[in-house]
Amino acid sequence: MSEPGTIYEAIGGQEAVDRIVDSLYKHIAKHPLLIPIFPEDLTETIWKQELFLAQFLGGPPRYLEERGHPMLRRRHLEFPITPERGKAWLDCMEIALKEAEIEEKYAKAMFDRLTTVAGQMVNKLE
């Protein structure tokens, strides 16, 4: 059997991405540092995250098709993202990867890439 071509394929495609994102936002919705910078209704935020994460992991470019270039830093500038909030988001993602039962080697690869992205989103010092 050949190795999957992308992390997206290796983890099980959109179904796995949806499990990760559902778990992620379950934790974000309860996190005292994070919930203040998110809308009360997370429906659209979850949808955008599902599109983005799928594309980020090598899945279909639906985010690009529906929302344009991610321009992550620019899209997040309106939110005060401190190093502490970046770490809190990563903590929630780490839990989500475990809860979604993502195989360790893929979870680590994803987490490493997302750690870089989270660092780039920081736009305000403590």
| 3-class DSSP state of 32 | coil
Low-confidence residues of the chain, pLDDT below 50? 1-2
**Confidence (pTM):** 0.93
Quick one: pLDDT at residue 125?
Answer: 87
Q: Kindly report the CATH class assigned to 11-121.
A: mainly alpha
Question: Domain-by-domain residue ranges, the chain?
Answer: 11-121
109 within 8 A of 11, measured Cβ to Cβ? no
Exposure on the CB side of residue 106, measured as CA atoms within 13 A: 22
Task: Summarize pLDDT for 41-73 with one digit per residue, the tens.
Answer: 999 999 999 999 999 999 999 999 999 888 888
100 within 8 A of 19, measured Cβ to Cβ? yes
Give the percent of the chain with pLDDT over 70: 96
Place of tokens 């929302």: 67
